[in-house]
Structure 1
Amino acid sequence: MNAHEIDYEIHGDDMQFVEVELDPEESVVAEAGGMMMMDSGIDMETIFGDGGGATKGLFGKLMGAGKRVLTGESLFMTVFTNIGHGKKKVSFAAPYPGKIIPMDLDELGGKIVCQKDSFLCAAKGVSIGIDFQKKLGTGFFGGEGFIMQKLEGDGLAFLHAGGTIIRKDLQPGEVLKVDTGCLVAMTRDVDYNIEYVGKVKTALFGGEGLFFATLKGPGSVWVQSLPFSRLAERVLVNATVPGKKRDEGGILGGLGDLFGDR
């Protein structure tokens, strides 16, 4: 094992957090600002780069940090190390309602490709980098952009996504079509492409967008029921107008605003 062997427990239902148990000298790496609580005896150190182990030289560190900038993440990550005696615990909270997914990279072929904002934390030794989508169509219309994150190594990593998460194991040649925003992660052998919905009327008035993702096996795919972008859009659309309270139980619903007091 190159990555540290950590133990964990996931608490909660819709607003989850993961509690990681560290033996002496074991470490876990997380996004800056993701920590919820920790025991005394745990040292917290901010590092420059992607946190994938010891990076040699200034150029290597700059390359790692530059990759994280491309995915929209912070230049820095935080390493939590048990420097005390006995087992210590540190917890990391999900940023919005959904589920935390534990990923054992050793059992998943050593690599996972995922949404650029889904990573929560991982055992030290797991490399957090970028994965370029080689096909321009996938990059421009894939919902998650031309760049996705990749997690490589043989340790545990934890992802977070919205709503309910389902894992689909695809057989060789089996194809799954997914809304582009609902794709959370996939194993390294899954062929990921973007397909036009095919019908102009469906594209314009169907409400599902112009493109969807086609995922071809073999491999495993994780799909979320509620992308954060969809949740945020619904919140904005239904936000209460300042100084005015909407009656959610009204017969007219949203149309009531058109006939309300002027």
Structure 2
Amino acid sequence: MRNNHEIDYRIIGEEMQYVEVELDPQETAVAEAGAFMMMDDGIQMETIFGDGSQQQGGGLLGKLFSAGKRLLVGESLFMTTYTNVGQGKKRVCFASPYPGKIIALDLQRLGGRVICQKDAFLCAAKGVAIGIEFQKKLGTGLFGGEGFIMEKLEGDGMAFVHAGGHVTERILQPGEVLKIDTGCIVGFTANVQYDIQFIGGIKNTIFGGEGVFFATLRGPGTVWIQTLPISRLAARILQYGTYKKKEEGSVLGGLGNLLDGDGW
């Protein structure tokens, strides 16, 4: 038996996905305000402080501390709940903010806890706690970049996270180690050990375009990996939007500028 609300869902789309959550009467989903796409009549929206989970106890001070920690992973102090106050089933939809995939996480099947990258959370059944996870090891803290402060989803309900590009799931056996770019990690189950490792060798240090540090994930557990971190996508867009001429992306080369009247 679940303590969190038990919701049905389906994920729709290919490159720009959204998740449709089906709510029975009095069932509630919770999401960041910017994730909302559309909903049926009969669903009531309400802004709440924090995530509405039972873990935010201890009165106002406890709720303030729990919600305030979420600012460290780029999330808001406030979230929005969507409750079916009508008769029969109602649907509410939440959209991914950039091209990629939405991953459905059944926390009850995944040990009750999943660690995710910052900004990964999309929506969840009410009762799922959304907090932060500090990586305490020195190497992780100094060189982890995107992986130092991560998001933590706890509970026994459904939660949904989004990732960039294609997403693959990898199940690690006990003691099995996966070496991965820190930005390509979407999330992993709580029993996976996470650390940062230095890539030795002067050639890697000087010429290695991927950087000199990568993450190591040690099993057992499940890992979700994305092919296109949003930071990598944003860097490329910024690069080409500021100083790259259009001939670099044109089959006509420099002739494309002349035909458009841009000159040289």
TM-score in terms of structure 2 length: 0.92
Q: Deviations over 1:181-221 (max 9, x none)?
A: 10010001101010011112112212111101010001110
* Distance apart, 1:61 and its partner CA: 1.3
Q: Does the 8 Å CA contact 2:30/2:51 hold for their aligned counterparts?
A: no
Q: Does the 8 Å CA contact 1:119/1:160 hold for their aligned counterparts?
A: yes
Higher mean displacement: 130-139 or 170-179: 130-139
Higher mean displacement: 218-227 or 193-202: 193-202
* Distance apart, 1:49 and its partner CA: 1.5
Change in CA separation of 1:252 and 1:137 when aligned onto 2, cut-off 3 Å: farther
Higher mean displacement: 211-220 or 133-142: 133-142
* Distance apart, 1:94 and its partner CA: 0.2
Aligned pairs for 1:174-189 (under 5 A) are 174-189=176-191
2:208: which partner in 1?
206
2:192: which partner in 1?
190
What is the CA–CA distance in structure 1 between the aligned matches of 2:87 and 2:107, rounded to whole Å?
28
Letter of the aligned partner of 2:152 in structure 1?
K
Equivalent of 1:161 in 156, 163, 180: 163
Residues 1:98 and 2:100 are matched in the alignment: yes
1:7: which partner in 2?
8
Q: Deviations over 1:78-124 (max 9, x none)?
A: 11000000000000000000000000000000000001110000000
* Identity level (%): 64
Letter of the aligned partner of 1:162 in structure 2?
G
2:25: which partner in 1?
24
Letter of the aligned partner of 2:228 in structure 1?
L
Change in CA separation of 1:39 and 1:48 when aligned onto 2, cut-off 3 Å: same
* Distance apart, 1:252 and its partner CA: 7.0
* Distance apart, 1:4 and its partner CA: 0.6
Change in CA separation of 1:245 and 1:174 when aligned onto 2, cut-off 3 Å: closer
Letter of the aligned partner of 1:4 in structure 2?
H
What is the CA–CA distance in structure 1 between the aligned matches of 2:52 and 2:198, rounded to whole Å?
37
* Distance apart, 1:54 and its partner CA: 6.9
Equivalent of 1:59 in 58, 61, 68: 61
Letter of the aligned partner of 2:238 in structure 1?
L
2:138: which partner in 1?
136
- How many residues align? The count is 256
What is the CA–CA distance in structure 1 between the aligned matches of 2:134 and 2:73, rounded to whole Å?
10
Aligned pairs for 1:144-155 (under 5 A) are 144-155=146-157
Letter of the aligned partner of 2:251 in structure 1?
G
Q: Does the 8 Å CA contact 2:55/2:129 hold for their aligned counterparts?
A: no
1:49: which partner in 2?
50
Change in CA separation of 1:232 and 1:86 when aligned onto 2, cut-off 3 Å: same
* Distance apart, 1:250 and its partner CA: 3.8
Q: Does the 8 Å CA contact 1:51/1:128 hold for their aligned counterparts?
A: no
2:217: which partner in 1?
215
Letter of the aligned partner of 2:50 in structure 1?
G
Equivalent residue of 2:145, what SS? coil
Q: Does the 8 Å CA contact 2:51/2:128 hold for their aligned counterparts?
A: no
* Distance apart, 1:73 and its partner CA: 1.1
Q: Deviations over 1:155-191 (max 9, x none)?
A: 1000100000001100011000001110010001101
Letter of the aligned partner of 1:63 in structure 2?
F
Q: Does the 8 Å CA contact 2:24/2:88 hold for their aligned counterparts?
A: yes
* Distance apart, 1:145 and its partner CA: 4.3
Identify unmatched segments of 5+ residues in structure 2.
none
1:114: which partner in 2?
116
Equivalent of 2:226 in 211, 218, 224: 224
Equivalent of 2:88 in 76, 86, 103: 86
What is the CA–CA distance in structure 1 between the aligned matches of 2:205 and 2:28, rounded to whole Å?
48
What is the CA–CA distance in structure 1 between the aligned matches of 2:53 and 2:138, rounded to whole Å?
28
What is the CA–CA distance in structure 2 between the aligned matches of 1:175 and 1:231, rounded to whole Å?
27
What is the CA–CA distance in structure 2 between the aligned matches of 1:6 and 1:100, rounded to whole Å?
16
Q: Does the 8 Å CA contact 1:105/1:157 hold for their aligned counterparts?
A: yes
Q: Does the 8 Å CA contact 1:136/1:146 hold for their aligned counterparts?
A: no
* Distance apart, 1:245 and its partner CA: 4.9
